[in-house]
Amino acid sequence: MLEVRDLCAGYGGSQVLFDVSLEIGKGEIVGLLGRNGMGKTTLVRTVMRLLPAMSGAMTFAGQDLRGIAPHRLARCGLALVPEGRRVFPNLSVEEHLTAFARPGRWTPATLFELFPTLASRRGHMGAQLSGGEQQMLAMARALVTNPQLLLLDEATEGLAPLIREEIWRVLGVLREAGHSMLVVDKYVQRLVGLADRHYILEKGRVAWTGSSQALGADRELWHRYLGV
């Protein structure tokens, strides 16, 4: 579904990604791992067309992503839950969902079932929500576009343990529903339990790729590339 080939990208003159290749098939959950500053967010932002690619190819469902404006990606079936949530401070929870809704299984009503906390806050403005509630809203806002592929950048970062568990629960529900996802996260153990395959980035290059079974069994990899 998503195919990235020999991608190079960065900021101005400073290159961050070097010949990165990555694939995600339909119904697959892929983990993207690496220590701080290794290029995970840069990769996600380049795929979402928020950063220009220097070279390389990116296709989604056979379409060349480089010709598509970022605001048109939802129509192609791609949605991002960005690092830092970025909810709209002056839109209510309900408005976030109705403004971005596209036809499909996920509607404001089904998302309020998935996130009961959001249902109880439906009239609250983005700015009035806790960090955990904002994270749930960022996920619901992405899901209401009914994407074919959901990209999540550090969705569990900086959250209290109970809220983090709630996010993992929802990711498990999405897995059961057959969603395709690229999940960037630092909790290797949880990611191994959720995803099918993984890529590890080291200084902007793919240092390792393999199955959850292989990653789960090789603690030396965790130590070498993830510092855990």
Ligand X SMILES: Nc1ncnc2c1ncn2[C@@H]1O[C@H](COP(=O)(O)OP(=O)(O)OP(=O)(O)O)[C@@H](O)[C@H]1O
Please compute, for residue 139, the number of CA atoms within 13 A of its CA located in the half-sphere on the CB side: 27
Q: Judged by CB under 6 A, does residue 156 bind ligand X?
A: no
Which of 24, 27, 26 is CA-nearest to residue 174? 27
The yes or no reply on residue 85 touching ligand X (CB under 6 A) is no
Nearer to ligand X, 175 or 205 (CB): 205
36 makes contact with ligand X (CB under 6 A) = yes
**Taking each helix axis from N to C terminus, what angle separates 131-143 and 161-176, rounded to the nearest 10 degrees?**
10
CB 84 within 8 A of CB 92: no
Closest CB to ligand X among residues 34, 82: 34
Position 190 contacts ligand X (CB under 6 A):
no
34 binds ligand X (CB under 6 A): yes
Residue 225's closest CA among 206, 194, 44, 31? Answer: 206
CA distance 174 to 110: 13
Q: Which of 4, 7, 38, 151 binds ligand X (CB under 6 A)?
A: 38
227 binds ligand X (CB under 6 A): no
Determine, following the binding rule CB under 6 A, whether residue 42 of this chain makes contact with ligand X: yes
Q: Is 25 in the site for ligand X (CB under 6 A)?
A: no
CB closer to ligand X, 174 vs 200: 200
